[in-house]
Copies of this chain bind each other. A is one copy, B any other.
Amino acid sequence: MGSNPIRGTKKNMNFKKTLEKLKKEIDQELDKYLAGAICDAEKQDKEMGRILRHAAKIIMASGKRIRPILMYFGYVAAGGKDRKKIIKTSVGIELIHNYLLIHDDIMDHGRTRHGIETVDAMYETMGKNIFPDCQDLKHLGNSMAILAGDLLESLGTQSIVDSGFDAKLTVKAVSALQSTIATTIVGQTQDICIENKKRVLEKEVLTMYKNKTAKYTIENPLKIGAILAGADAKFLQKISLFAIPVGMAFQIQDDILGLFETSEKMGKDAGSDVKEGKKTILVLRAMEKAGREEGKFMRNVLGNEKINLKDIKKFQNIVQKTGALEYSQNLAENLVEKGKAEIETFKINKEAKVFLLELADYMIARRV
């Protein structure tokens, strides 16, 4: 095994170009939308303007726009033709995503997102200048971050509601969206429970991955797009059979990257998953297979915010030599194959089919 143990397949250039092209178009729409929303917010209240401006800075700093891109391809897969309209509408799902991220960052004590201070961290740093009389800047930051998330939820839902698609389809799409948000909240609750329990089963973690990632990141945007193109129940069911395993593979790959990839690429603090005490499939498996000494070491450093680079290296090393890395990689690969098999026999728009199959591979080949 070389210096970087993460598996990677040869990248498909057309696929990467498609991703980049769509990301650029979505970013333009997102930027335009946020500029308008900040302007509106500032007219109403200076501080609301500041909060949204900072949230927009985080949103625009980075992000793969995977959810809007999937919404686009769900629409195309189901035969949708109004390219411009679906791209404009897909901004809504990215706003919803950032609503959930901002609230997650409060719960996970995240200090930066995409290399930018989180909303609460910004108020803790800058708050003294804005509110010299404030006695509790930590609490103020917490409040402002709750509000930032709540605002993005409203803006996101409203931009899908106001998209101008057929009203019956819009009602169906917003109902599906809100239902998925509820499931994601279940997943986040499970995540917190797992964090706060000593003994956790692999099964529990996989259920959480299904709720918090697979349904939310892959199934939901594909479904919303397909619904807006008028897809029927059978079509949506097929989409789910593809999306759930592929989405779970996406999360497992995320765990691998979260432990092994450098922080600059991920835009997160180095070893943040270990610092946060995340009990991933990777970590659970390693702790199960490790000897007593190394198992004890893992339990000790997991959740230690002050872990040093040497201990992170040691942690990585145990995950590799116990076979936990390989186990996770194989699990992800099998899930991807399962998803691909569903879509291969499915009669959908050819461009969308090619994209979804390549996307499935990308889930486990990606390095960011």
- A residues apposed to B, CB below 8 Å: 41, 44-45, 47-48, 51, 103, 106-107, 109, 131, 133-134, 139-140, 142-144, 146-147, 149-151, 153-155, 157-158, 161-162, 167-168, 170-171, 174-175, 178-179, 181-183, 185-186, 188-190, 192-193, 196-198, 211
Q: Are B151 and A190 in contact (CB under 8 A)?
A: no
Q: Are B161 and A47 in contact (CB under 8 A)?
A: no
Query: Which residues does chain B contribute within 8 Å of A134, judged by CB atoms?
Result: 196
Q: Are B154 and A185 in contact (CB under 8 A)?
A: yes
Query: Which residues does chain B contribute within 8 Å of A144, judged by CB atoms?
Result: 189, 192
| Number of copies of this chain that the complex holds | 2
Query: Which residues does chain B contribute within 8 Å of A178, judged by CB atoms?
Result: 154-155, 157-158, 161
Query: Which residues does chain B contribute within 8 Å of A48, judged by CB atoms?
Result: 185-186, 189-190
Q: Is the interface of A mostly helix, strand, loop or mixed?
A: helix
A137, closest chain B residue (CB): B196
* Residue with the greatest number of chain B CB neighbours at <10 A, chosen from A48, A134, A144: A48
Q: Are B151 and A182 in contact (CB under 8 A)?
A: yes
Q: Are A143 and B186 in contact (CB under 8 A)?
A: no
- Report A239 CB to chain B, min CB distance, Å: 20
29 A-B interface contacts by CB (under 8 A): A41-B186, A44-B183, A47-B193, A103-B147, A106-B143, A106-B146, A107-B139, A131-B197, A134-B196, A146-B146, A147-B189, A147-B192, A150-B181, A150-B185, A151-B182, A153-B181, A154-B185, A155-B178, A157-B157, A158-B175, A158-B178, A158-B179, A158-B182, A161-B171, A161-B178, A162-B171, A167-B168, A170-B171, A171-B171
